[in-house]
Amino acid sequence: MIHRVGLGIACALGAAALYGLVPNFARAGYENGIPPIESTLFRTFVIATVFSIIAVAQGVQLTIPRAAVPSFVGQSVSTFFVSVAYLGSVQFIPVGLAVIIFFLFPVIIMLLAPVVEGRSPGLPRLLIAILAFCGLAVAVGPSFESLDLRGILLAGLGSAGAVLQFFSGRAISRYMTPAGFGSLVHLAIFPPILAIALFAGSGTLRFFPGGTATGGGLLFLCGVGIVYVIAYMVHMLSLRFAPASSVAPYFNLEPVVTTAVAAVILGERLQTNQYAGGGLVLAALVASSLTGKWKK
């Protein structure tokens, strides 16, 4: 098992920053005629194709070792829920509340680390994870006026999926490369996502010729696919280099990036609470890095 925490953290920060672009591209695509579920379908197809090509070029056999089957199933199920459930939750509850529920996963990972990884992240890192989550809550500033149990359950399911994705990603990296299992995972979840997209679109896809997608929408759709491929690869590399509990807190950078990019691309204004919350998240990231140095 590879153990290079510093490199894992660097990959986690890179993945979080890239993931932060995806919702904005998906939102811009939606405003140009492409439903979010179709953006999810397209990025799943792109990453499955690209990773398959990379795996073949590297001489990697696209087979699942028997010992890796449980972690492969976990990675497939978790990736599906992260892709679909989290996205679906915003149809029933405010986006801010969905983000807060979903980003409980770094704290949950910290709490489960002693059981799953056999190692305790320590009180300082746990407190830092909680601080980062509090900063996130301040930055998002949700409205609790209208709550729908369906949205809360979907966001919670997406968060649980993220927890499983981190732990299973670390486990499967013992047996397969990110390109190898990444291609097979997305091939496995493509059929159910296609079925959902066709059902939602009454049997048609909007980004096909004759659909409602504009030229700008297709450009943003391509952006979703390209950025997600790179982000997922770097994400899985972070788990190849370091335990989930070591890299998970750094993914709190993702919603901060999402908010900042939304201000530039979508013209959304940042509020005082978003600056303050973003500052808390960044402070937590710095504190986590310093904690590692103090231990050394």
Predicted confidence (pLDDT) per residue in 244-285, tens digit: 878 887 888 887 887 788 878 877 666 677 678 777 877 776
The whole-angstrom separation of Cα 84 and Cα 158 is 8
Question: What residues of the chain score a pLDDT lower than 50?
Answer: 294, 296
| Maximum Cα–Cα distance across the chain | 60
User: What six digits make up the tokens of 52?
Assistant: 């398959």
- Report DSSP state, residue 103: T
Residues 104-141: b if buried by 16+ CB within 10 A, e if exposed? bbbbbbbeebeebbeeebeeebbebbebbbebbbbbbb
pLDDT for the residue numbered 145? 58
Instruction: Find, among 90, 143, 155, 141, the residue nearest to 280 by Cα.
Output: 141
Helices 178-200, 215-241: crossing angle, 10 deg rounding = 140
pLDDT for the residue numbered 161? 93
Integer angstrom CA distances of residue 112 from 164, 167, 224, 252: 11, 10, 32, 18
User: What six digits make up the tokens of 32?
Assistant: 């140009």
pLDDT for the residue numbered 101? 80
pTM over 0.85: no
User: What six digits make up the tokens of 45?
Assistant: 């197809």
Instruction: Find, among 71, 75, 15, 52, the residue nearest to 180 by Cα.
Output: 52
pLDDT for the residue numbered 143? 56
Residue type, 86: Y
pLDDT for the residue numbered 192? 94
Please check whether residue 193 is in contact with residue 44, taking contact to mean a CB–CB distance below 8 angstroms: yes
Type and span of the H or E element at 252: none
Range of the domain at 197: 5-295
pLDDT for the residue numbered 248? 81
pLDDT for the residue numbered 29? 87
User: What six digits make up the tokens of 280?
Assistant: 């808390």
The whole-angstrom separation of Cα 263 and Cα 270 is 7
The whole-angstrom separation of Cα 77 and Cα 79 is 6
Integer angstrom CA distances of residue 65 from 129, 169, 172, 190: 34, 15, 10, 21
Tell me how crowded residue 288 is: count the other CB atoms within 10 A of its CB: 23
**Number of domains within the chain:** 1
